[in-house]
Amino acid sequence: MVLLEMSIVPIGKGESVSHDVAKCVDLVDQSGLAYELHSMGTIVEGTLDEVLALLHLCIEAVSQDNDRVSCSAKLDYRKGASGRLRSKVASVEQKLGKECKSD
């Protein structure tokens, strides 16, 4: 399974890009894959093919209304492991002996 952290934003649109981000988050939600939205991007868990196809779909969606799009993506591929969207955080919290802040 793969964890993909992605941030896709239009360039030249001004300071607020939430409309375009919302388009991507809607596509992520529709994909049925497990995900977490945070203030600087979105983390998605799935197979390599699934997350790369979703990344492509999101870039294409943002590019429909924008001539230039910036994408930052980070992949964590690990054979045989799933549910890591939550388990990686839980492992750190267990070692700390407390929950980490999420706000």
Where residue 94 falls among pLDDT bands split at 50, 70, 90? confident
Q: What is the pTM of this model?
A: 0.86
* pLDDT tens, residue by residue, 63-87: 999 999 999 999 999 998 888 888 8
User: For residue 84, what pLDDT is reported?
Assistant: 82
Q: What is the DSSP string of 17-61?
A: -HHHHHHHHHHHHHHT-EEEEETTEEEEEE-HHHHHHHHHHHHHH
Residue range 2-96 in CATH 3.30.70.930: yes
Length in residues, the chain: 103
- One-letter identity of residue 47: T
* pLDDT tens, residue by residue, 12-64: 887 888 899 999 999 999 999 999 999 999 999 999 999 999 999 999 999 99
